[in-house]
């Protein structure tokens, strides 16, 4: 799945370019990406409408319109592509698509056409994205970029789950995926398997600061693949701080890499 930074880059493109344009056509014929809506249902709901705001919480993104809310999930390889009046492209989304050449729209799964000749597409080669009306977002926890220290402590201190599993729980903390979680835990020097009930107040404060630092860095540099510990998530790699060999484990059903010397 995309993580918060990739979704934020897509949201920024939508906010900057796609708002306040009248929709004159909608291609919603991909029955998998647009499920559970039948072909033509989203089109009928959006024709003549305008996008009025681009929103995100965690990994979830949705657009307010002058009609129903439009939810767009990027999936593992999705990218939002806006084509402007001069046919120039502006895009944002998952880093798996960073090599797509401008004008390559072979994998367009959903498209909005605007009265001024511009268009907005979900380009998704793996077809793992999702478009739906009125998406449920009320169950999501606080956004990992905006969460306050008090909210963070409340989200991570209840129960006995491993701390990495709790970081990945979107109802506790929205936006953290596998790579972000490993970066956060490595920066905070916390073992991914440690139960949240064993975290001290200093542990929680370090984790909250590491979360904000990691999210901001990934947004600034173009995605979670740019995070500093990511190149060392492999066999034989040494921790970039202490040069101990990195260790692999499975926590909460996810592959995890950590430094066995510093992350205790």
- Residues with a catalytic annotation lie at 2-3, 59, 254
Rounded distance between C-alpha atoms, residue 100 and residue 125, angstroms: 10
Helical H segments across the chain, by residue range: 4-13, 41-46, 149-157, 163-167, 178-188, 201-221
Of the candidates 225, 253, 263, 259, the residue with the CA atom closest to the CA atom of residue 239: 259
Edge-to-edge order in the sheet of strand 119-123? 23-27, 108-114, 119-123, 79-83, 89-93
Of the candidates 28, 45, 49, the residue with the CA atom closest to the CA atom of residue 108: 28
Rounded distance between C-alpha atoms, residue 230 and residue 41, angstroms: 42
Query: Is the Cβ–Cβ distance between 120 and 82 less than 8 Å?
Result: yes
| 246 DSSP assignment | P
Residue keyed to tokens 């491993």: 162
């Amino acid at each position: 799945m995309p993580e918060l930074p990739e979704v934020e880059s897509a949201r920024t493109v939508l906010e900057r370019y796609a708002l306040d344009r009248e929709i004159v056509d909608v291609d919603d014929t991909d029955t998998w990406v647009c499920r559970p809506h039948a072909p033509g249902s989203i089109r009928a709901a959006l024709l003549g409408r305008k996008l009025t705001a681009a929103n995100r919480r965690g990994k979830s993104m949705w657009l307010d319109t002058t009609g129903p809310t439009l939810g767009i999930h990027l999936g593992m390889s999705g990218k939002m592509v806006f084509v402007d009046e001069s046919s120039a492209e502006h895009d944002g989304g998952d880093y798996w698509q960073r090599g797509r050449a401008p004008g390559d729209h072979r994998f367009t799964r959903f498209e909005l056409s605007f009265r001024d000749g511009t268009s907005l597409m979900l380009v998704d080669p793996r077809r793992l994205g999702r478009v739906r009306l009125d998406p449920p977002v009320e169950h999501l926890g606080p956004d990992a970029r905006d969460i306050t220290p008090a909210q963070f402590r409340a989200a991570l201190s209840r129960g006995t789950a491993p701390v990495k599993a709790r970081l990945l729980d979107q109802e506790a903390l929205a936006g953290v995926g596998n790579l972000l979680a490993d970066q956060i835990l490595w920066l905070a020097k916390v073992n991914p398997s440690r139960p949240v009930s064993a975290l001290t107040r200093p542990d929680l404060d370090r984790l909250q600061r590491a979360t904000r630092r990691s999210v901001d860095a990934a947004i600034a540099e173009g995605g979670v693949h740019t995070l500093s510990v990511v190149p060392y998530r492999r066999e034989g790699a040494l921790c970039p701080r202490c040069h101990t060999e990195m260790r692999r484990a499975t926590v909460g059903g996810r592959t995890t890499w950590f430094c066995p010397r510093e992350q205790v």
